[in-house]
Each structure stands twice: as structure tokens, then as C-alpha cells.
Structure 1
Amino acid sequence: MAKQNKAYKFRMYPTDEQALVIRKTFGCVRFVYNRMLAERKETYENLKEDKEALKKAKHPTPAKYKKEFEWLKEVDSLALANAQLNLDKAYKAFFKGNAKFPKFKNKRHKQSYTTNVVNRNIQILGGHIKLPKLKMVKLKQHREIPSEHIIKSCTISMSSSGKYYISILTEYEKEIEIKNIQNVVGLDFAMNGLFVDSEGKKANYPKFFRQMLDKLAIEQRRLSRKKKGSSNWNKQRIRVAKLQEKVANQRKNFLLHHKSKELVTEFDAVVIEDLDMKGMSQALKFGKSVADNGWGMFTSFLHYKLKEQGKQLIKIDKWFPSTKTCSNCGSAKEIKLSERTYQCTCGLSLDRDVNSALNIKKEGIRWLATA
């Protein structure tokens, strides 16, 4: 039996006193992270020419600051310890060349902290969750966590509109049987509608952000006219944040509970191109379309849902000429963005996106045969 992880996210309703402790913990975690980063940055600058000395250099810990800043003792010590672990991960990713040098955090960053289970300090009890320093916090638990799932850690966060959430990470044992791949589908990313599959079906993704754009623009203009930091400015900021959250929730619901679930139920393997979404969003006129599309979130959902069932998500090279290649005879030709039909000398006349999806599927099958 292999150990698996699954997270459950719920809305929390802390009292005013509990909310104050939560926000204080956010601040303390950010403070400790920044202090440790400043010290490690200074060490790095002083010793970067001497790699051996840099490896042996001692790193600061949250305990070091508790002597100088007594108020750090008022919050969950495990939250501060996790800030150190997060910084360690960021540093390792930097030295491996997988990420940029860690940046300092400010209030505009995501407000969150993580705590761990130690001696049953975290428990779900009758519509409430017991948490370190907070005791019993009201919880809206819209789904049950299976009894065989063991709680490992919890991440408490606050949205920009002031709502509190908790993400509960659980561990359980499950033997995942690798499926014999029979049904394969290829997906061609579509700027207008998420994807077109190799069977000619379109995702018909509603443009949630575009639909909300006019209303959002009106509320943002109202916000810009108010004095920053005032009571009315803060009320208006929350109105804007709620609209943005609504769009995000609509997008997540469509991608997670509808499209990804449909594909995982029907197919044993899904083939996509390994696209650079950040680069595409920065391309001319594509920014809002890519942001509204949610392709990155969609592929993440696909990956973990397929993995849970012993199925596969296959990513082919982003430079694979799926658009230029004829899915019937395999010949290639240049095709303009304005050309919506792929026509080949072999007689093929097909929607360009469906043609691309068929090529992506074929490349995925070829990859499976050689893997």
C-alpha cells in the first residue's frame, strides 16, 4: 500500500478575537521569514565566492528572534517553524536553478500560515476545528473527510475580501492500480474556449472574467476615486475583491468539477502540449484571454485526478508542429493564424484545432509506445 495525500478546503468563521490572533500570526510569520531571508542574503553576499564556507554557514531560526521580540511567543510556534521550512525550500530551488532568488514578503502577498499536527492539537469536532492558539473555530464542512485519512497539517488563509479558509492536508494508504491504456484523447489549447479535443468536441468554456469585466471596471473606477486607506475606500476594495473571487470560484468550479472530471471518467490517458502560459499571456493582445482561460489550473486538476485513478497525463514538447502537420498523411505546411481550416493536398479539409488535437493524440500514443 502506498501513502497518498489529499487536501480538503473549507470556509472558517472565526470570532473577532480568533481573527485577531490569525492576522497577528500572518504578520509574525511574514516578519520571521523576512528577518531570516535578510540574514541569509547577507551571508550569501559575503560568502558567495567561497562555496564550501557557504555550505557550512549556520542559518538563523525563529527561536533566535523570540528572545529579542517577545511578542513572537504569542502565536503558534509551528507556524514560525514552517516559515523557516518554506525559506529552506525556496533556497534549495534557487541553488538548483529551478527558481529565482527568494523575495521579501509584504502584506500584498497571500496572507497564510501552516501549522502541523502534534499530540492531537488539531481535531475536527462537530462543525468546529480545534487549532493551536485558537481553540475551537467554527467551520463550514461541506464534505466529510474519510475516517482512514490522517490529518498531517493545516494551512489557514485569508482572502482579499476578508474571508477565512482552512486547507487540511491528509494522508492515507491506497494501492493505485495502473490502468491499461486503451482510450486516449488529445487536447489542443484554444484561446477562445479552453480546448478542442481529438474527437472534435469543444470545452465551451464560459469567459467568466470577460463577462464580469464591465462590472469590475465600474467598481474599480469607484475605488480609484476614494481616498486610499479611508473607511469608504476599504469597503469599496472589498466589493472589488468579492467580484474577483466570484470569477475565480466560477472558473475553478467549471474546470475542477466539470471538464477535468468528464475527461478522467471517459479516458485512460490525456495528451496535451507542454505550453509556456506565462509567455503566451505576455504576447500581444493575449494577456486577458490566457488569464481568463485557466489552462494551468485545468491541467493541474487533470494531473492529480488521473494519477488518483492510475491513469496518465502526457505532456508532449511545446515545439511539436501540431498545427502545421496534416493528421491524415503527415506532411507539413505553414498555416496562418487567420486560417481556421486545415486543407492538405491529400484531400483533408478539417478544422485546424481538431487537426492539431489529432496530431497531439498521435504523438502521445507514439510516446506511450516508446516509453
Structure 2
Amino acid sequence: MIYLDYAATHPMTPQALAAYAEAAGLVGNPASVHGAGQAAREKLEEGRARVAATLGIDPRTLTANSGGTEGDNHVLLGAAQAWQEQRGKAGHLVTTQTEHSAVLAPARWLEKQGWQVTFLAPDRYGRYAPEQLAEALQDDTALVSIHHANNELGTVQDTAALAAVAAAKGVPYHTDAVQAPSVLPVNLNDWGVTFATFSAHKWGGPRGVGFLYVRRGEVLPPVMLGGGQEGGLRAGTQNTAGIYAAGVALTHAEAVREATFAHLSHLRERFVEALADLPDLRWNHPPDASPKVANLTLKGADGEALLMNLDLLGVSASAGSACSAGTMQPSHVLSAIGLSEADARSSLRFSFGAATTEAEIDAAAAALRQAAAWSRG
């Protein structure tokens, strides 16, 4: 199998697997005061500290959770709750049309609760300008939520510039940065964001482990009540082995990040060149996108058929659409940047990792040609 779906999930790295096995043998609850509990606590905090060091922040600002979806929901719903408790009424939220569903779903839920939500429209490549955000802000804007790197297009936002616009108006700024670590540089202090969300399985750590950054001094209600773990922001016994493995995986990924970036850039360029003469092909990702992602449209081909044919040929990729209730729905991201419904249904995303080889890229390009021929009849 040629695995080219790293944006969906990165296979656990050997470093993460070894770290997980090491910490999984610890028997103590990290909240316990006895020696076994403190041994587990030491591993948990080492994992957190490793992640925090890579992100350029104090470990005490980092809450361990289950991943990006939980973190995004926590920020949007928690910030809305805090606003309403303080002011006694709903406010205004700014987000974008190309966010992950983990942001869009709670934003739309808030709309039903009386909140006003502005969904910024992207340019051709999924980018948002600081001036655009400035025009959208209102006196009652409670939160801005704009992703850093898009999961379908790889588009990278100027998060520091956007966060500065919000800060000038005193508005908290959240970024879903799930797709950034291990490929793109991340320094949350330089970005100036209030909140940020991360997911370990995107950088080769275990699934079901993530992190929420809350800047010192900011107030966010807890997502769960109970024993008061994670500074009171998230109750429940922590996944010691998962958090430790996530930290080890990210430490290793950061050590080779620049080399990984160069490798992925080369692979994507090779992939684009290998398909240069394929008829009716359009590339959707911007030239300066994260090199992890290549998004294309094959006019006249059926995306679902392309995926099935690629799978038969031993290539794992993903469609530029989400599967809902067994029906392929056009990607909201591709629709937002102007693709027709037909073209959105004819789109695929290929995403690469450090372990991807040139031979796999060449084989995937050949497989796509064959899959396209089959799909078009």
C-alpha cells in the first residue's frame, strides 16, 4: 500500500510507539501521591513539556485533551459561555467558510442559540486578509477563529497579522493549528494568539490525544467537571502514555522539521510534474501551501470512483469531499474557493509524510492516470 493520506492521520512513528510502550507499563494514576502515581505524573509532564517547548510556550498553558475536535469545541462554546455569563446576552463570532467541521459545527450551533456569526469568504486559494478581518469585527465580537493551515488545500494563513488585528480591538483569537506541527514552524508567542488547538496524530503521535493552548490570564470555562485535572479545565484521568508519546514524537519531528519541509516540497513538485500532461487537470492548492498537501481536480471524473480505483491500485488518498450518511458531499472548502459542485466532486487530496518516497510518488502518479482512465470510461 502507498499511503498518501497524512493530512487525515500520520502513522505513529517508531519513536512514538516506543515511548507509548514505555509509559503504558506504568501502573499509577498520575493524580495519586504515592510513588507509582508520581512516576506516571513525571512521564505525563515530560510529554507536556516536550510539546510546549516545540510550540514556544509555558507548559502550564497547555491542557491535554482528546484532540483537535474537542479543543475547537472547547474554545468556541467556552468563549461563548464566558461572554454570555458576563454580559447576559449572545454576541458575535468571526470565523471562515473553510474551517474544519470541528469549528463550523459549533459556530452553526451558536447561530441557533442567537449568536451572530460572520463566515469570512476566502480568495481563490483559501486565504484571508487582515483588512478583511478588521472590517468584520464589531463592538460585540467575542471571538475570532481562523485556522492556520487548511487541511484540504494546505493554505497557510498569516496568523500573526490576523491575530494582531483582533488584539487591537481586544478580541480573543483562536487558531486551529492541527495541520502545522512537524511541517511548519509554530511559535504561539510570536503569533500572539489567545487560544490554539493541536492533535498528536497529525505529527506521528497516538490518536485520541491533543492539546489546547490557553494564554496566561485568559478565562475559559471547563469542558468537563470532576476531579479538577488539567488545572480545572478538563476533568478526568489523563492518558499518560499517549501524552508522553505525543511529546516524544513531536520532539523528534521538530528536530528534522526543516529537512521534512524540503523533502515534502520536493515530493509535491515531483508529483505535479509527473501529472503535467494529464488532460483536464487543475491544481487547487496555492503555490506556497504547506508542502504536505496536493489538491487536484480532474474534470469529468467522479471523485468516489477515483478513490475506489486508486485503492484497488494500492494507493490511499482522500476525496476533496466529506462522506456523510453514505453520500459523497461536495467539499465545503472547494466550494468556498469557487469550484462548481461537479468540479468539487471530481477532486482529490494527496498528502505526504517524511516516510513517503520518490518511488511511491511516481507509482501514485501512474496509478492516478490509470484510475482516471477507468473513471472516465
- With the shorter chain as reference, the TM-score category is under 0.3
Which protein is richer in strand relative to its size?
A: 1
User: What TM-score does the superposition give when structure 2 sets the normalisation length?
Assistant: 0.26
Structure with max Cα Rg: 1
TM-score where L is the length of structure 1: 0.26
Between the two structures, name the one with larger relative contact order (CA 8 Å, sep ≥ 6): 2
